[in-house]
Copies of this chain bind each other. A is one copy, B any other.
């Protein structure tokens, strides 16, 4: 950590700050510039409160030199992490497609979609049981019953499943869920993250709409600090001024996270764009950018032809995307 001190402060204040830092077991290396003094802090500064120091009257600015995340940091764990999901591997070249409906609706629906996406190349089944909705008046998912239906589909199709948790008190119900998803709105629900750190099961952590990549990694760190190192990161769009798409898919997050961390990175083009006809180009772009996996919404409801244009693809459209995904994977694999 580097602390830039203001111009013209007195020696007493400087000494006071220096001693306070040294009391925390950190060495201070001082140097003088033309318009300011600089303290270089040497030691484990991960636990120092950067915001507190930055707010001191005598401090001009503070800069972290090493990132405050440790377990998720590639510097300390250069090897890519591989996550085991049932019999599958994810990460370090092991690519998986997660697909399934937005909401689990019935046994027939979830099994039909599961069979269809499996045939097309999806390897993990997604399905919403507990649904986060902006409005309390919108459909909140079948909740516990939806989870049971999803578990039924797992048994019937043999596919590992992923679904979102919205309340840590529901955790016991997730015993046979293969990957627990933490949604964007709960990315900084620290109490939930801590509890998920105590279990030993893969967690897919979605980036919050207004969260930086480093904050995403700090949230992963909350889980990993508890001992659960099986964290999958998911880029699903950030909030910007552009309103044509629901959110702005930040694909540079893929190479950026690749540098910063050893954890696998999955991209969700369905929620990012909110528009079915954009899922294919953005899925292919995510693969070309180097993602370890995709998460795609697929529905199958011929009775509600109305929904054909939703952010969900039909099984036929999904099969087309999956085929092209394989071609792009091969193209970049050399």
Contacts and interface: CB of A to CB of B under 8 A. Distances in A.
A255 B241 contact: no
The majority secondary structure among interface residues of chain A is mixed
A46 B210 CA distance: 27
Contact of A278 (B255, B277, B332): B255
Given A137-B68, A332-B324, A254 B281 contact: yes
A38 interface: yes
Nearest to A30: B31
A288 B287 contact: yes
Contacts of A49: 138-139
Contacts of A285: 251, 254, 285-286, 288-289
Interface in A246-298: 246, 248-252, 254-256, 259, 272-278, 281-282, 284-290
A112 interface: no
Contacts of A214: 244
Contacts of A290: 281
Given A75-B7, A212-B241, A245-B252, A306 B189 contact: no
A310 interface: yes
A189 B186 contact: yes
A254 B278 CA distance: 10
A302 interface: no
A186 to B, nearest CB: 6
Nearest to A207: B242
A2 B63 contact: yes
Interface string A10-41: 00000011001000000001011111101011
The 9 closest A-B pairs by CB, nearest first: A210-B210, A57-B309, A288-B288, A331-B331, A284-B288, A167-B191, A185-B188, A285-B285, A55-B310
24 contacts: A16-B306, A29-B33, A34-B66, A36-B66, A52-B307, A54-B274, A55-B307, A56-B308, A132-B190, A167-B168, A186-B189, A210-B210, A210-B241, A212-B241, A238-B240, A238-B242, A238-B248, A240-B240, A244-B256, A255-B282, A259-B277, A284-B288, A327-B332, A327-B334
